[in-house]
Amino acid sequence: MRPNPKPKQAKQSAFQTWRRCRDAVMSLMIRSSGYTVVISLLLMFVYLGYQVFPIFKPIQVTPIETERLSEEHRSSFQWHPVNLDPSALVYRLAENQRSLLTTTSDGGIQQWFWLMGDAGTPASFQKVHEFTSHRAPILALIPESQRRGFLSLDQQGHLAIHYAPTGETLWSGYLTDEPIKAYSLSSSNQILGVRLASGETRYWHLLNPHPQISITSLLHKVQYEGRNQAEWVWQSAPSAEYHDGKYSIVPLSIGTLKAAFFAMLFAMPLAIMGAVYTAYFMPTRLRNWIKPSVELMEALPTVVIGFIAGIYLAPLIEAYLVQVLFGLIALPLYLVLLSWLWSILPDSTHYRLKSSLWVLLIPALVAFVWALPYASSLFESWVFAQDLRQWLAHHNIDYAQRNGLVIGIAMGFAIIPTIFSLAEDALSSVPKHLTEGALALGATPWQSLQGVILPTASAGIFSAIIIGFGRALGETMILLMASGNTPLVNMNLFEGMRSLSANIAMELPEAQAGSTHYRVLLLSVLILFVFTFVLNTLAALIRQGLKKRYQQL
C-alpha cells in the first residue's frame, strides 16, 4: 500500500506560505524604514526652512485705525515736531555719540563714523554710508529704540526705514500727501504716528522684527561702527547695550572649511595609503587583525579626543612647535629614503630579511626620534635664522595655542577610520581575476596596483574621501574643546577658528526662541544640513556607480 503524499505536500505548502508572509513583512519593514528616513529628512528641511524664513520676510507697513488704539496707548506717545526749514542740514547723534547722521537739502542722508587714526594720525569723522531713498528735503530722522535702525520722513510724505550698521534701506513708500507737523514712534518700534497740518492723527503698524539680517549682513563685508574697515564679523553677544548683534556667517563657514581641510590633509594620506597596503600587500592573517582594530578607533568618543587635544596636545605642540613641524615634513622623506635603501639591496638579502623587516624598522624609527631635536634645531636656524615664534611675530603671523594644527591632528585621527574602512572595502572588492590576469601578463604587484586596482576602485576611494570630508564638516566636540572658538576669516595654520556646528552647540541653548539670534543659528543648521546632505548623496551615487561597474566585469 503506497503512502499518501498529501500530508507532505500540505506541509510544504504551509511552509511556503509562511515564508512568503515572512518575506512580505520583512520587505514592508525595510521599505517603511527607507520611507521614514526620507520623510524625516524632508520634514527636517521643511521645519528649518519654516523657522528661517521670517528673517528674510519683507517689511510690512500697514495703516491702523485710530479707534483700535486705546486711549492709554495713544497718550503714551511722545510727539516731536518736524524740521520745517528745507534748506537746513539735520544732525542726529547716535546713542553712543560716535555715529553721526546728516541730511542734505535734496533728500540725501549720510552716515559718518568717528574713527580713530593710526599712530600719529588724529581721529576724524569719515563718511561711511549714504542713503538715497528720498527725492525731497528730509523733515525728520527717527531713531529706533534698542537697536541701530532709523526712519526718515520727507516733505512729500515719503517714509523710509533704514538700518545704520549695514547702510541699507529696508523699505520705502508713501504715507500721506498732506503736510506732516509732528511724529512719534512707540518704544517697541512697531507703531508710527504722524500729526498732519489739518490736525488729524494717523498711525501705521511697522512689522520689522529682524532688521539686522539681509544678504549684505550675512555674506558681505560690513564696516561697523568703531572699525576702520569693512569686515566679516560674527558677534552674537553685543559688546554694549546700544550695539546690535553682528551675524555674518562667513567666519563660521570659513572656520568649518578650514578645520575640515586641515583634518583631511592629515587623515587622507594615512587612511588611503593604509587601506592600499592593508587590502593589497598585507598578509591575510595580519589584515584580519588590523582592519577591525582601525575600525574600533571610530568608537572612541570625540569628546575624549577633544579633551586630550585641548588639554595635552595643544600645550605639547606649543612647547615643541619646531620639532612637530619638522617631523611632519621629515618623516615621509625619511620613509622614502628607507624604501630606496631597501630597493638597492640584493634580492638574496630581500629574501632573508623579508619575514623580519618590521623588526628592522624599529631601530630606524628610534634613530629618527633621537635625531629629531638636533635636526629640527638645525632646520630652525637654517630656514628662519632665529626662533620660529619670533619669526612668526616678525611677519605678523599670530600664534594661538589651540589652532588649526591641533585641530588637523585631532580631527584627522577621528576621521581616519571612516576613510580607511570605506577605501579598504572598495579595494578589496576589486575582482580577483583582474589582479591575477595582470600578474599573469607579467606585471609586477606595484604595476598591477597602479594600472588595475586603483583605477577600478577609484570611485569607491573618492566616495570614502567625500564621506570623510562630510564627517569632518559636521564634527562638533573636538572643535568645541580644542579650536579656541575664535570666528576668524583666514586659513592661518597657527590660529583658531569657529565652525558652524561648534557655534550651534555653544549658542543655541542660550538663544531666545524666535529671536534674530535663534533664527540665524537655525540658518546655520540648515546650511550645514544641506551641505552634508549633498556630499553624502554624491558619495552614495558614486558607490552605486561603482557597484554597477563591478557587476559588468
Count the Cβ atoms, other than its own, within 10 Å of residue 138.
28
More confident position, 17 or 552: 17
- DSSP assignment, residue 280? I
296 pLDDT band, cuts 50/70/90, is: confident
- DSSP assignment, residue 497? B
Q: Lowest-confidence range among 28-32, 90-94, 248-252, 505-509?
A: 90-94
243 pLDDT band, cuts 50/70/90, is: low
| Cβ 196 vs Cβ 209: under 8 Å | no
pTM of this prediction? Answer: 0.86
Supply the Cα-derived Rg of the chain in whole angstroms: 34
End-to-end CA distance of the chain: 56
CA dihedral angle for residue 525, residue 527, residue 530, residue 535, rounded to 10 degrees: -110
The whole-angstrom separation of Cα 380 and Cα 403 is 21
Instruction: Record the cell numbers describing residue 392, joined without a space.
Output: 612668526
521 pLDDT band, cuts 50/70/90, is: very high
266 pLDDT band, cuts 50/70/90, is: very high
The whole-angstrom separation of Cα 513 and Cα 457 is 48
Sheet of 109-115: strand order equals: 91-93, 99-103, 109-115, 124-131
Give residue 199's pLDDT. Answer: 85
7 pLDDT band, cuts 50/70/90, is: low
More confident position, 411 or 14: 411
φ and ψ of 343, to 5 deg: -70, -25
Give percent of the chain with pLDDT exceeding 90: 30
Find residue 203's DSSP bridge partners.
64, 193
Q: Is 202 helix (H, G, I), strand (E, B) or coil?
A: strand
| Cβ 182 vs Cβ 194: under 8 Å | yes
Closest CA to 254 of 237, 268, 233: 233
Instruction: Record the cell numbers describing residue 53, joined without a space.
Output: 524664513
Does an H or E element contain 404, and which?
Answer: helix 404-428
- Which of 118-130 are b and which e, b meaning 16 or more Cβ less than 10 Å from the residue's Cβ? eeeeeeeeeebbe
**pLDDT tens-place string over residues 185-232:** 988 889 999 999 888 888 999 999 999 899 989 999 998 887 888 899
pLDDT mean over 94-113:
77
The whole-angstrom separation of Cα 322 and Cα 294 is 29
- DSSP assignment, residue 406? H
pLDDT of 24 over the 90 cut: no
Find residue 163's DSSP bridge partners.
149, 168
Angle among Cα 95, 100, 103 to the nearest 5 degrees reads 125
Q: Is 430 helix (H, G, I), strand (E, B) or coil?
A: coil
pLDDT of 67 over the 80 cut: no
Q: Where are the alpha helices (DSSP H) in 429-515?
A: 432-440, 445-448, 454-473, 477-482, 500-507
pLDDT of 303 over the 60 cut: yes
Give residue 164's pLDDT. Answer: 87
Domains defined along the chain, listed by start: 60-222 (2.130.10.10), 250-551 (1.10.3720.10)
pLDDT of 383 over the 90 cut: no
